[in-house]
Amino acid sequence: MAAAKKAGKKSVRKGKPAYKRILLKLSGESFQGPQGFGIHGETIQGIARELKDVHALGVQTAIMVGGGNIFRGARQKGFEIDRATGDYMGMLATVINALALQDALEKEGVFTRVLSAIEMKEVSEPFIRRRAMRHLEKDRVVIFAAGTGNPYFSTDTAAALRAMEIKADVILKATRVDGVYDADPEQIPDAKFFAAISYREVLSQNLKVMDSTAISLCMDNGMPIVVFNMNRTGNIKRVVLGERVGSKVTPA
């Protein structure tokens, strides 16, 4: 009986990943945990442990982080500010999150590099496509910060762009719900769930998967997107192993 249990555990650890190279999109809200703002220590440590499990499978992992837990750019409530200025402030917030995640990952023994689209040599490397790919090939987790480095582009669009540049197999979009719905399931309990949906359907129905620029970029380049619930422990690994988790956005 004990031998059978040991064999079972071994087979789980040796599960074959469905993807060789992934780009994980983490919103800033992923880091705030139950406190509802800023960076929650236990939450970011939990994310780091899950990423360590994925890394142990031999999957090359890149991460695009948002900054909404610190500053939401043009959408910051009660703060009148120029759109471009707000977007730059939001980009700087993503650097804070990237450094926090890097620290949590390295405490788990995972070698990590932060690459920023806005140059700040003292805290991160500048984003250079070939350098990012080399880090991945050397088994380092790469964290992309500062979006595209340009205002008027969301971190969703930055995630799509970086996924193309590093030749990722898939974009994993982490959310608070189980996948893609035709309405907000947190507001409408009987919202329809889509296990699979095409890019065109997402655009035509104006579904809030990623912004339209990001979806169009993925559609033009055939980049699949898996939308899943980040709050369910182990979901990142399940998606990477090819289990039926969340919703998949692909060509028709």
- Say yes or no: 131 and 218 in one domain: no
Query: CATH code at 140?
Result: 3.40.1160.10
- Say yes or no: 34 and 144 in one domain: yes
Q: Is the pTM of this model over 0.75?
A: yes
For residues 210 and 206, give the distance between their C-alpha atoms in angstroms, rounded to a whole number.
10
- Say yes or no: 51 and 138 in one domain: yes
How many of the other CB atoms lie within 10 Å of CB of 232?
12
Beta bridge partner(s), residue 64:
25, 144
Q: What pLDDT does residue 36 have?
A: 87
Q: Considering the domain boundaries, does residue 180 fall inside one?
A: yes
Q: Considering the domain boundaries, does residue 3 fall inside one?
A: no
- Say yes or no: 132 and 178 in one domain: no
Pick from 134, 168, 202: which residue ends a domain? Answer: 168
Pick from 136, 168, 200: which residue ends a domain? Answer: 168
- Say yes or no: 134 and 227 in one domain: no
Q: Considering the domain boundaries, does residue 133 fall inside one?
A: yes
- Say yes or no: 198 and 131 in one domain: no
- Say yes or no: 130 and 29 in one domain: yes
Q: Are 161 and 198 in contact (CB under 8 A)?
A: no
- Say yes or no: 110 and 142 in one domain: yes
- Say yes or no: 116 and 184 in one domain: no
Task: Tell me how long the chain is.
Answer: 252
For residues 174 and 187, give the distance between their C-alpha atoms in angstroms, rounded to a whole number.
19
- Say yes or no: 126 and 84 in one domain: yes
Q: Could you list the residue range(s) of the whole structural domain that residue 212 is in? A: 170-252
What does the pLDDT profile of the chain (252 residues) look like in tens digits? 444 444 444 334 457 999 999 999 999 999 998 998 999 999 999 999 999 999 999 999 999 999 999 987 656 566 678 989 999 999 999 999 999 999 999 999 999 999 999 999 999 999 999 999 999 999 999 999 999 999 999 999 999 999 999 999 999 999 999 999 999 998 998 999 999 999 999 999 999 899 999 999 999 999 999 999 999 999 999 999 999 999 999 987
For residues 213 and 31, give the distance between their C-alpha atoms in angstroms, rounded to a whole number.
25
Q: Considering the domain boundaries, does residue 9 fall inside one?
A: no
Q: Are 87 and 152 in contact (CB under 8 A)?
A: yes
CA 117 to chain CA centroid, Å, is 17
- Say yes or no: 41 and 125 in one domain: yes
Nearest alpha-carbon partner for 57 in 107, 22, 5, 104: 22
* Amino acid at site 151: P
Q: What pLDDT does residue 73 have?
A: 62
- Say yes or no: 111 and 143 in one domain: yes
Please tell me the total count of domains within the chain: 2
The owner of tokens 């939001």 is 90
Q: Are 34 and 221 in contact (CB under 8 A)?
A: no
